[in-house]
Chain A
Amino acid sequence: MASEPAAAFEVGRQVKPGRRVGAPPVWAVLIEPYALFLLFLLIVPLANVALFSIHRYSPTRIALPDLTFDNYRKIADPYYLRLFARTLKLGLITTVVCALLGYPLAYWLARARPRLQAFGLFLLIMPLMVSAVIRIFGWIVILGRKGLVNEVFAALGLEPVRLLYTDTAVVIGLVNVFLPFMALPLMAAIERIPPNLEEAAQNLGANWYQMFRRTILPLSLPGLISGSLLVYSISISAFVTPALMGNSRERMAAQQIYDEVLVSFNWPSASSLALTLMLLTLALMFLALYATRRAARLERGR
């Protein structure tokens, strides 16, 4: 039917230029591949996880067909409560440390000359380009019992400290990788602040610290919030870094989930933990976004 497409095209022209009758809108065509990808590789498995989480565990058949909320009830256990508390706490510490280190860095990058900025960005993103295992091995060399830090301590006549396989090591490792996720949104936010606002503040009598607190900080808050959300949500689901650098008994949630899936084969329990972690993250995100939008609305003076 050689004439058919042309005819359809002509009909389509009368309705709306460039669109055939009955054809899906352009946006649908554009997002279709990724939408399918998400549907089959994220939403379907996630629904499966959700289903597992409300089934009873069986050591022999993994999951029994009867429905139960026991997997969730179990999370009220002190063991699991501590697990989540530790996960959220380490996520929070990582986020705070990233913010503290990221702000000066982002400010410097935002105000640097273009060539210096490009070089700085390259250095900032470098940890992301190194394989996790190699990066962590590097940290083990530095933080280990006979590592660089302790050798320096020994040379100074100080007692060796236990760094590796502690929460400190986990935070160091997480900050190392996730700092760009904080610094980049911050940098983008600070770049949008005209430099002469800083000068205006100083002209009105603000020293550098007062200027920062009263202009840069409030005006870059959206960047800080999106950076914090990113860092927080990826650090509470971190697996490799806590597994290789943390204490095997003081775990983070992802390690527990991994163990329950692959070691004890308690898929229902692992599913409930995974969903709880996900819902916690989502809830925190919505809370933060709601707070920013409120702040933005206040700023516009409505």
Chain B
Amino acid sequence: MADGIELEVEGLTRRYSPQVAVGPISFEVRAGEFFSLLGPSGCGKTTTLRCIAGFETLNAGAIRLRGERLDDKPPHRRDVGLVFQNYALFPHLSVFDNVAFGLKLRRVAKAEIIERVGRILRLVDLAPLAERFPAQLSGGQQQRVAIARSLVLEPRILMFDEPLSNLDLKLRIQMRDELRSLQRRLGKTAIYVTHDQTEALALSDRIAVLSHGHIEQIGTPDEIYERPATSFVAEFIGNSNLLPATIVERGEREVIVEIERGLRLRSAGGNLAGDGHEVVVLIRPERIQIKAPGVGGTPGHNRFSARIVTVTYLGDDLRLDLELATGQMLQGALKNAGAARDWTPAQMVQILVDPADLRLLRR
């Protein structure tokens, strides 16, 4: 990945009304990077994308493409490709003409148009369908036409607005992988908007998690999942057990917190974000180890006894709702394999959590 900054968004603000506003949002996208804007609907991710494309005007802030101001240019002079959620293919034009649309506007010579459109259609595996019309294509094929139509113009940045949300699950995963390998092969800078955390984690080099018009955290998928900056990020990405707690003892290598009803937990020292006294404890369900009572665990792990309340069968996974002896509820996740298959409701178990897997977040 090159280190150059391709796109810089600085203090982007878009106000719809005194109550509804997005921003200020700031982030940088590096050249060749796959950057995702992830958040629930209404978080401002699509607005941010539309501001970059030029379909929304900023109330404040700046957008720069390789150091050059972008936000004062009209949409048709921005050189950033956008793949729309519903693809927005031109229904009156064939696949070939859809892809050639931008080239014709740029007055590219006919022979070159044929050559470039042909090349890009082969790249997305649509060459045999060049004469078809959008209505005659499947969702996945339409999607690829939309990508080809942007890609053929060789834009500086390719942007995607929830491009997979109209596809069924199997195709979504297939297109997701195709998209990723295409972007890698071409080394194209990509900005991807989605509300689907799995998609963002699987595709991105870096993710910006948005909520209520603000960025909660920017980081690699691993950082976002393992070290969420806020309880919103922890809750939005993956499943999580979040327990309010107060810090009892703050050591170099170990922090001790107390959750309600006097239960004390040990957390690794480096896991404390910020310096507040009031925190939220995050335990990922899959990091909870479940053992039969009396079986010896790793020394130094947090250990409680609990009762299995329900076992939810998810196919590849089993989700366990656990009630601690002190009354708190925790959620555990196990692979549907081996001994895990024997757990049944009402069984008494012991729970082990590695202090390294216990994140402390700002409240």
Give bound CA distance, A19 to B221, whole Å. 67
B74 within 8 A of A: yes
Q: Which of B94, B131, B136, B150 has a CB less than 8 Å from the CB of A204? A: B150
**5 A-B pairs (CB sep. < 8 Å):** A199-B53, A200-B89, A202-B55, A204-B101, A210-B105
Query: B76–A301 contact, CB under 8 A?
Result: no
CA distance A12 to B25 in the complex (A): 72
Answer yes or no: B255 CB below 8 A from chain A CBs: no
- Apart from A199-B75, A207-B74, A301-B94, list 13 A-B contacts with CB within 8 A: A196-B86, A201-B101, A202-B76, A203-B82, A203-B150, A204-B105, A204-B149, A205-B76, A205-B77, A206-B105, A214-B90, A300-B135, A301-B131
At the interface, yes or no: B84 with Cβ under 8 Å from chain A? yes
Which residues of chain B have C-beta atoms less than 8 A from A197's C-beta? 88, 90
Tell me, in angstroms, the Cα distance from A194 to B106 when the chains sit together. Answer: 24
Q: Decide: A219 near B92, CB < 8 A? Known: A203-B75, A204-B102, A204-B149.
A: yes
Q: A203-B76, A205-B105 are in contact. Are A215 and B86 (CB under 8 A)?
A: no
Distance in angstroms from A84 CB to nearest chain B CB is 36
Q: Shortest Cβ distance from B175 into chain A, in angstroms?
A: 19
**B133 A299 Cβ-Cβ under 8 A:** yes
B134 to chain A, nearest CB (A): 10
Indicate if B153 sits at the interface (CB-CB under 8 A).
Answer: yes
Q: Bound complex: CA of A205 vs CA of B77, how far in Å?
A: 6
Interface string of A129-141 (1 = CB under 8 A from B): 0000000000000
In the bound assembly, the distance between CA atoms of A300 and B94 in angstroms comes to 9
State the Cβ distance, B47 to closest chain A Cβ, in Å. Answer: 14
Nearest chain A residue, comparing its CB with the CB of B88: A200
State whether A200 touches B84 (Cβ < 8 A).
Answer: yes
A218 sits at the interface (CB 8 A): yes
Query: Which positions in A face B, CB cutoff 8 Å?
Result: 194, 196-197, 199-207, 210-211, 214-215, 218-219, 299-301
Q: Which residues of A contact B106 (CB under 8 A)?
A: 205
Q: Is B81's beta carbon under 8 Å from chain A?
A: yes
Q: Is B335 an interface residue (CB 8 A)?
A: no
What's the nearest-Cβ distance from chain B to residue A198, in Å?
A: 9
Within 8 A of A (CB), among B56-108: 74-78, 80-82, 84, 86, 88-92, 94, 101-102, 105-106
Let me know if B132 is at the binding interface, CB within 8 A. Answer: yes
Q: How far is the CB of B137 from chain A (nearest CB, A)?
A: 11
Q: How far is the CA of A289 from the CA of B239 in the complex (A)?
A: 60
A292 to B294, CA, bound (A): 82
Q: Is A206 within 8 A of B76, CB to CB?
A: yes
Roughly how many angstroms separate A211 CA and B53 CA in the complex, as a whole number? Answer: 16
What is the distance, in angstroms, from B303's C-beta to the closest C-beta of chain A?
A: 56
| Pairwise interchain contact B91-A301, C-beta atoms closer than 8 A | no
Measured CB to CB, the closest approach of chain A to B298, in angstroms, equals 55
Give me the 6 closest cross-chain CB pairs, A-B, nearest first.
A204-B102, A200-B88, A301-B133, A202-B75, A196-B88, A205-B105
The answer to whether A301 touches B92, judged by C-beta atoms less than 8 angstroms apart, is no
In whole angstroms, how far apart are the Cα atoms of A300 and B133 in the complex?
7
B84 adjacent to A204 (CB under 8 Å): no
Does A299 contact B105, Cβ atoms closer than 8 Å? no
Contact of A299 among B88, B91, B131, B153 (CB under 8 A): B91
A205 contact from B94, B131, B135, B153, Cβ within 8 A? B153
Closest B residue to A218 by beta carbon equals B92
A21 to chain B, nearest CB (A): 44
Q: Give Cα A194–Cα B149 distance, bound, in whole angstroms.
A: 18
Asked whether A205 and B91 contact (CB < 8 A) given A194-B86, A196-B84, the answer is: no
Partner of B81, one of A203, A207, A218: A203
Once the chains are docked, how many angstroms separate the CA of A24 from the CA of B135? 40
- CA A206 to CA B77, docked complex, whole Å: 9
Across the interface, A219 reaches (CB within 8 A) one of B76, B91, B135, B136, namely B91
Select from chain B the residue with minimum beta-carbon distance to A296.
B92
Name the CB-closest residue of A to B106: A205
What's the Cα separation between A197 and B90 when bound, in Å?
Answer: 7
**A contact residues around B94 at 8 Å (CB):** 301
Tell whether A207 pairs with B76 under 8 Å between CB atoms, given A199-B55, A300-B133, A301-B136.
yes
**Whole-angstrom distance between the Cβ of A212 and the nearest chain B Cβ:** 12
Within the complex, the shortest CB–CB distance from B112 to chain A, in Å, comes to 16
The answer on a CB contact under 8 Å between A215 and B90 is yes
* Residue of B whose beta carbon sits closest to that of A219: B92
- Known contacts A210-B105, A299-B133, A300-B135, A204 near B153 by CB under 8 Å: yes
Give every chain B residue within 8 A of A200 (Cβ-Cβ).
82, 84, 88-90
Do B133 and A205 touch across chains, with their CB atoms under 8 A apart? no
Chain B 325-340 near chain A by CB (<8 Å), digits 1 or 0:
0000000000000000
Q: Are B101 and A301 within 8 A (Cβ)?
A: no
| Chain A residues with CB under 8 A of B153 | 204-205
- Known: A196-B84, A205-B106, A206-B76. Contact between A214 and B101, CB under 8 A? yes
Bound: A203/B75 CA distance, A: 6
Q: CA A203 – CA B76 in complex, angstroms?
A: 5
